[in-house]
Amino acid sequence: MTTHTISVLAGDGIGLEVMPVAIEVLDAATRDAGVRLDWRVQDWGSDYYRAHGTMMPADAIETMAATDAIFLGAVGHPDVSDVETLWGMLIPIRRAFDQYVNLRPVRSFAGVRSSLAGDPEIDVVIVRENVEGEYSAVGGRSYQGTPHEAAYQQSLFTRHGIERIATYAVEVASGRRKHLVSATKSNGIIHTMPFWDEVVAEVVDRAGDIELESVLIDALAARAVRSPQSLDVIVASNLFGDILSDLVAGAVGSIGIAPSANLNPAGEHPSMFEPVHGSAPDIAGRGIANPVGQIWAGAMMLRHLGHPQIADQIEAAFTAVVERGEVTPDLGGTLSTREVGAAVIAELAAQR
């Protein structure tokens, strides 16, 4: 019996509704497979913030460091600013545990209408750099209250940072169509982006058998909506990857399906797995949130923990359920969050 301890941060809003359902699915999938998941549930997030003035306690990083992975729901509340949730929780976790890869698979499901003409089949993996680049805290504001008021912010790209994200992207591409698109903007951003292009090309050259296409981010955005079938693996900087992954995920249908992994690939520190969606205050408390993004994130977690077969089974199960139309209202169905979870568990049993 292998045991993995998992830090559970359900967070706020629908995070509290989809998390228990995903946990039930993961427990059902691991039960007869010799794997036990030891859930360490924490009540951190916006409610914690309103009671204590911080999103999580001072020893939170230490507490999570002693576990094998972090399973996150969603954090955010209308009364708590995005800056608080991001810089008080998500960014400190990513940085403390050096989760330098943000991995976002996006694919279409039969029967789920995309917002793109012709309903193209989409199967893309976006590999986003997660700890440096445009989202540095280096900068400032000057001359406030004068006509010369100004703001400036540095992007910071390191050779080490680009090499390791490109190396990870090459690995992903090797297991797929061996075609890698690198998002760039070296015609307009003339210092960091040519450096990005150079280092990515070096890494791809060393790998030998991967075809590299460097595409300007504006053209890539257009291509992602006009011919997403031409894309397989995309490697992108922090900002470009952020925008592009929402763009592609938005194109396939509900934001409620998409998962995201914040990886420390070598496993020196715990990695974090979460759905792409937020706390969705507009539908929270109604029991109708789509749990598939959280369940898929759980499958990615099991894959990372060394259980690819269980991950495959979970993915096959929710795919069958979604494609049969057993879905929540965001996908045009009538099922509740819990009913979708029960359908996935029944499908897992049926596939055995």
278 forms part of the interface with ligand ATP (CB under 6 A): yes
Token couple for 7: 């830090």
| Catalytic annotation present for 312 | no
In the complex, the smallest distance separating the C-beta of residue 284 from ligand ATP, rounded to whole angstroms, is: 8
290 forms part of the interface with ligand ATP (CB under 6 A): yes
**What SS3 class is residue 273?**
strand
Question: Which one is catalytic: 242, 282, 312, 330?
Answer: 242
| Catalytic annotation present for 282 | no
- How many residues touch ligand ATP under the rule CB under 6 A: the total is 16
Element (H, E) at 67: none
Token couple for 262: 């914040």
Contact of 1 with 34, CB cutoff 8 Å: yes
In the complex, the smallest distance separating the C-beta of residue 290 from ligand ATP, rounded to whole angstroms, is: 3
Contact of 75 with 11, CB cutoff 8 Å: yes
First to last CA, the chain: 20
336 forms part of the interface with ligand ATP (CB under 6 A): no
277 forms part of the interface with ligand ATP (CB under 6 A): yes
303 forms part of the interface with ligand ATP (CB under 6 A): no
Q: Give the footprint of ligand ATP on residues 1-30 (CB under 6 A).
A: 14
45 forms part of the interface with ligand ATP (CB under 6 A): no
Q: Give the footprint of ligand ATP on residues 231-270 (CB under 6 A).
A: 255-256
Stretch that binds ligand ATP, among 88-96, 241-249, 279-287, 312-320 (CB under 6 A): 279-287
Instruction: Look at residues 328, 324, 318, 320 and name the one whose alpha carbon lies nearest to residue 297.
Output: 318
In the complex, the smallest distance separating the C-beta of residue 53 from ligand ATP, rounded to whole angstroms, is: 20
The overall longest dimension of the chain from CA atoms, in Å, is 70
Contact of 76 with 278, CB cutoff 8 Å: yes
278 forms part of the interface with Mg ion (CB under 5 A): yes
> Cα(231)–Cα(233) distance, rounded to whole angstroms?
6
Residue nearest to Mg ion (CB): 278
In the complex, the smallest distance separating the C-beta of residue 162 from ligand ATP, rounded to whole angstroms, is: 28
13 forms part of the interface with Mg ion (CB under 5 A): no
Residue 151: CB partners within 8 Å, gap ≥ 6? Answer: 139, 140, 141, 142
Helix residue ranges per DSSP H, the chain: 15-30, 46-52, 60-65, 82-85, 91-96, 159-174, 192-207, 217-226, 238-252, 292-304, 308-323, 337-351
Among 315, 326, 330, 339, binds ligand ATP (CB under 6 A): 330
Stretch that binds ligand ATP, among 42-50, 193-201, 235-243, 278-286 (CB under 6 A): 278-286
Among 19, 21, 74, 321, binds ligand ATP (CB under 6 A): 74
Instruction: Look at residues 132, 253, 231 and name the one whose alpha carbon lies nearest to residue 183.
Output: 231
Q: Are strands 101-107 and 259-263 parallel, antiparallel or unpaired?
A: antiparallel
Question: Which one is catalytic: 218, 232, 312, 330?
Answer: 218
Q: What residues are paired with 262 via a beta bridge? A: 102, 272
| Catalytic annotation present for 242 | yes
Q: Would you give the DSSP letter of residue 347?
A: H
In the complex, the smallest distance separating the C-beta of residue 100 from ligand ATP, rounded to whole angstroms, is: 22
What residues are labeled active site?
Answer: 143, 185, 218, 242, 246
Residues that bind Mg ion (CB under 5 A): 278
Residues that bind ligand ATP (CB under 6 A): 14, 74, 76, 255-256, 277-280, 282-283, 289-290, 293, 328, 330
